[in-house]
Amino acid sequence: MKKSLFFGLVLVLLVSFTFSNGILKFAIETEPVGLDPHQVTAFASHRILENVYDGLLRYDENMQLIANLAESYEVKDAYTVVFTLRNDVYFHDGTKMTADDVIFSFERITDPDFGSPAASYYADVESIKVVGEKNIEFKLKTPSVNALLPNFAGVNSAIVSKAFVESGKNMQLETNGTGPFAIADYEAGNYISLVKNDKYYMAGLPKLDELRFIIIPKEVSRVSALKNGDVDISKLNEPLSLNMLTNGFSIYRQPVLSYYLLGINNDVAPLNDPKVRRALSYAVNREMIIKMVGFGEGTITGIMNPTVKAWAVPVDEEFSYNPAKAKQLLAEAGYPNGFEFSITVSAKYNFDKIAQALQAQFASVGVKANLDMVEWGIFIKKWKEKDFDSFVSLNSGSVSPDKQLFRTFETNGSTNKFNYSNTKVDELLVEGRTTTEYEARHEIYNELQEILIQDSPILFLYSPNNLYASQKDVQGFQPMSNESLISLRFVSVE
């Protein structure tokens, strides 16, 4: 009796040991708010759902757009793109993905009553139809297929099951994707457990049996959890945490496309004068801010991120620290003794620290910046109502110049809260969107970036490095510059 109990125990231990080999425990700061891929906007939701839902396209580790649930795609002309669907894709409930599901997904996204954040991406789409059995054709009203394509890679454009959605499930609470993992268990505030999708279309993937996101809100707690082995991998928000993880851990550094900015209200005097804005830009010591706030973990960014070599125009001179030039420009603009303005800021993502550094640097050229510290919800309200002189924030960037610049600088761009309006910029943005040839597009975006440097409607500051730390036995983790975690499907624990 005792013997069998003992062997039973050993067996249980062995089984749990073999199973634990395939588990990755990932510490995350914030939990997802909602799980409907077509509704979520929270960063935390995207990071989880990109492992659960797939789209027609995805980015590979070099940020190249590649086919995903589509086997291939063909750009017929500037108005038309045709996707050929894979034949071996299954939803987590076991049903096969069909062209119907794809059409349904895009109808759901573009339904104006539904209010999906992705609806605007497809505003130029005239028709979506099935051609043959497994080809989906998108036809556009404008020749803007270049601008359209990157949208197919995000969670917001994921393919959902028509039958599942129509059965009346609450998609914010229940999931049924085609991705490498399916959500098995979600205990709010505690953890989200994803298990391997055995019918995932990529052979041999995912490598893990279970991917468990453990919600630990405080950085010191995440680092400690890593140190005593409660988790296998964690994102680090504070570069200082690296000091606590000096040996025995793998450290990952990834420059990201997101960038810190000083948003400026281009209607408020004296900030309505481009000379004044450029003076502020020269007064900023970006290197110093990266050292002070980011402990060296960051890169100065231009209008396009410098890692996007295909498009980025260098800004070494223009974004350099030059207080003499700043003073000269201020004098030319009629403010030799400086002026006073306010920076609206919330204590989130180091915004407050950056604002303090800016305040000190502006002071050295005689400009007095008053910090207006507000709670995040209030910040958003002020941002929305353009109720500010300036603000510090973090914008998500893109490898696509259209995605990076159109919404930010077009007169009616959805995130242009700067009252910035330049007819030439608007023209170039539309031209860039509707031109298909690379050389011609390149010229357009070069000119555009030059204008934006001269106008300085906002101050681009820097792109932080994303930092992760993992136990040594974690293999294959690759952070990406768009901060996506889709490489988790390739990760194993040796």
- Residues at the site binding another protein, with contacts judged by CB under 8 A: 25, 27, 33-34, 41-42, 112-113, 115-120, 170, 172-173, 187-191, 214-218, 220-221, 223-225, 227-231, 375-378, 380-381, 383-384, 393, 395, 414-415, 417
3-state secondary structure the chain: CHHHHHHHHHHHHHHHHHHHCCEEEEEECCCCCCCCCCCCCCHHHHHHHCCCCCCCEEECCCCCEEECCEEEEEEEECCEEEEEECCCCECCCCCECCHHHHHHHHHHHHCCCCCCCCHHHHCCEEEEEEECCCEEEEEECCCCHHHHHHHHHCHHHCCCCHHHHHCCCCCCCCCCCCCCEEEEEEECCCEEEEEECCCCCCCCCCCCCEEEEEECCCHHHHHHHHHCCCCCEEEECCHHHHHHCCCCEEEEEEECCCEEEEEECCCCCCCCCHHHHHHHHHHCCHHHHHHHHHCCCEEECCCCCCCCCCCCCCCCCCCCCCHHHHHHHHHHCCCCCCCEEEEEEECCCCHHHHHHHHHHHHHCCCCEEEEEEECHHHHHHHHHCCCCCEEEEEECCCCCHHHHHHHHHCCCCCCCCCCCCCHHHHHHHHHHHHCCCHHHHHHHHHHHHHHHHHHCCEEECEEEEEEEEEECCEECCCCCCCCCCHHHHHCEEC
Q: Please, what is the minimum distance in Å from the beta carbon of residue 25 to another protein?
A: 7
- Dihedral in degrees, nearest 10, Cα atoms 160, 165, 169, 173: 20
Q: Which is nearer to another protein, 47 or 441 (CB)?
A: 47
Q: Please, what is the minimum distance in Å from the beta carbon of residue 484 to another protein?
A: 17
Do residues 26 and 231 touch, judged by C-beta distance below 8 A? Answer: yes
Q: Which is nearer to another protein, 30 or 370 (CB)?
A: 30
Closest CA to 48 of 232, 183, 174, 165: 183
Q: Which is nearer to another protein, 226 or 279 (CB)?
A: 226
Q: Please, what is the minimum distance in Å from the beta carbon of residue 39 to another protein?
A: 9
Q: Please, what is the minimum distance in Å from the beta carbon of residue 265 to another protein?
A: 15
Strand-pairing partners, residue 191, are: 187, 214
Q: Which is nearer to another protein, 214 or 300 (CB)?
A: 214
**Residue 455 burial (10 A CB sphere; 0-12, 13-18, 19+):** middle
Q: Which is nearer to another protein, 94 or 115 (CB)?
A: 115
Q: Please, what is the minimum distance in Å from the beta carbon of residue 415 to another protein?
A: 6
Q: Which amino acid is residue 407, in one-letter code? A: R
d(CA 326, CA 7): 78
Q: Please, what is the minimum distance in Å from the beta carbon of residue 239 to another protein?
A: 18
Q: Please, what is the minimum distance in Å from the beta carbon of residue 203 to another protein?
A: 32
Q: Which is nearer to another protein, 68 or 258 (CB)?
A: 258
Q: Please, what is the minimum distance in Å from the beta carbon of residue 223 to another protein?
A: 8
Strand-pairing partners, residue 22, are: none
Q: Which is nearer to another protein, 145 or 215 (CB)?
A: 215
Q: Please, what is the minimum distance in Å from the beta carbon of residue 32 to another protein?
A: 10
Provide φ and ψ at 443, rounded to 5°: -60, -45
Q: Which is nearer to another protein, 260 or 335 (CB)?
A: 260
- Dihedral in degrees, nearest 10, Cα atoms 384, 388, 394, 400: 70
Q: Which is nearer to another protein, 376 or 438 (CB)?
A: 376
Q: Please, what is the minimum distance in Å from the beta carbon of residue 50 to another protein?
A: 17
Q: Which is nearer to another protein, 207 or 227 (CB)?
A: 227
Q: Please, what is the minimum distance in Å from the beta carbon of residue 123 to another protein?
A: 10
Q: Which is nearer to another protein, 221 or 250 (CB)?
A: 221
d(CA 99, CA 154): 19
Q: Please, what is the minimum distance in Å from the beta carbon of residue 391 to another protein?
A: 10
Q: Which is nearer to another protein, 70 or 257 (CB)?
A: 257
Q: Please, what is the minimum distance in Å from the beta carbon of residue 442 to another protein?
A: 29
